[in-house]
């Protein structure tokens, strides 16, 4: 009788979990199947993050990595030792993405600069300083729009952050695209807020729709000026609401990850962390 082969000391048994194949979503596309070692290596490289939608064989639905069985592999900075050479198993030195709390502070700072730029730009529209202020406000708005679309999981997003912003610069087509990038964002943020159990930070979807309609009316000579003024007012109000919704989602994520106490409110965004 031939004796069973012995496993080397410290070797990982060939368990059912180790043989599980994994998938993840990137730009609304399914990537996989991947072996666990490959999957952990992508986590270590930063390709798969806490909000990336993942699924293992046998799972019915996609889940954020942080809420899936793969959560224990997040933040390790190393690849699995199964099938990965020693060089790949060493901790990786890389620039990590900002924490949810840092991203929330970034949104707050962008909105403050957006508001200041508008306050300077609108009264001084006919001089160079005013035009520069309006241009800065539009640029900051694009930053915020891109960042807010990044908060929507790809499986539930109607578009990508890059398209949401980029297509707004296409003449005439942007009249239609506002309904996707702006009104669509309002609806997407509200769905994420509801999913996270966050109340009191909803974006007014009817106002967002009205803004998109007013932008279309702004090109009509008889009513264009009045429509543009009304759209500007709604724009400021809605960007504030969207920023608040995004900050609420980021603070909820920070609380879930242990960076922020669950009882903390939006005031925590303006406070530094103790060193």
Q: What is the structure's pLDDT at 27?
A: 64
pTM of the complete model: 0.61
Residue 68 predicted with pLDDT over 50: yes
CA distance 129 to 135: 10
Q: Which of 48-62, 118-132, 163-177 is predicted with the least confidence, judged by mean pLDDT?
A: 118-132
53 in Cβ contact with 62 (< 8 Å): yes
- How is residue 199 annotated by DSSP? -
Residue 89 predicted with pLDDT over 70: no
The pLDDT-based confidence of 34 (bands split at 50, 70, 90) is: confident
Residue 85 predicted with pLDDT over 80: no
The pLDDT-based confidence of 132 (bands split at 50, 70, 90) is: confident
How does pLDDT run across 187-218, given as a tens digit for each residue? 999 999 999 899 999 999 999 999 999 999 99
| Parallel/antiparallel/unpaired status of strands 63-64 and 29-34 | unpaired
Closest CA to 210 of 238, 243, 189: 238
The pLDDT-based confidence of 14 (bands split at 50, 70, 90) is: very low
Q: Could you tell me the strand order of the sheet in which 63-64 lies?
A: 29-34, 22-26, 53-56, 63-64
CA distance 150 to 141: 14
The partner residues of 34 in beta bridges, in order of sequence, read: 22
User: Cβ neighbours of residue 150 under 8 Å, at least 6 residues apart?
Assistant: 161
Domain assignments of the chain as residue spans, ordered by start: 22-89, 148-261
Closest CA to 162 of 178, 143, 175, 179: 143
The pLDDT-based confidence of 123 (bands split at 50, 70, 90) is: low
CA distance 202 to 183: 13
Mean pLDDT value across the chain: 78
């Amino acid at each position: 009788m031939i004796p069973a082969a012995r496993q080397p000391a410290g070797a990982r048994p060939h368990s059912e979990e180790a043989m599980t194949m994994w998938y993840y979503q990137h730009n609304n596309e399914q990537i996989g199947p991947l072996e666990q070692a490959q999957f952990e290596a992508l986590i270590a490289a930063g390709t798969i993050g806490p909000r990336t939608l993942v699924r293992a064989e046998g799972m019915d639905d996609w889940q954020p990595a942080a809420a899936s069985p793969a959560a224990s592999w997040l933040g390790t900075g190393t690849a699995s030792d199964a099938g990965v050479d020693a060089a790949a198993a060493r901790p990786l030195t890389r620039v990590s993405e900002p924490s949810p709390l840092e991203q929330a502070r970034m949104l707050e700072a962008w909105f403050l600069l957006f508001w200041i730029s508008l306050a300077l730009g609108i009264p001084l529209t006919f001089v160079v300083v005013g035009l520069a202020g309006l241009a800065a406000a539009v640029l900051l708005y694009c930053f915020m729009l891109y960042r807010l679309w990044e908060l929507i999981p790809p499986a539930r997003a109607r578009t990508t952050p890059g398209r949401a912003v980029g297509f707004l610069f296409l003449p005439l087509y942007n009249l239609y695209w506002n309904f996707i990038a702006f009104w669509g964002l309002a609806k997407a943020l509200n769905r994420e807020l509801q999913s996270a159990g966050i109340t009191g930070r909803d974006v007014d979807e009817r106002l967002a729709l009205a803004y998109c309609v007013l932008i279309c009316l702004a090109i009509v000579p008889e009513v264009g000026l009045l429509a543009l003024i009304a759209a500007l007012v709604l724009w400021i109000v809605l960007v504030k609401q969207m920023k608040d919704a995004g900050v609420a989602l980021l603070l909820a994520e920070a609380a879930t990850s242990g960076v922020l106490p669950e009882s903390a409110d939006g005031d925590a965004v303006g406070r530094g962390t103790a060193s």
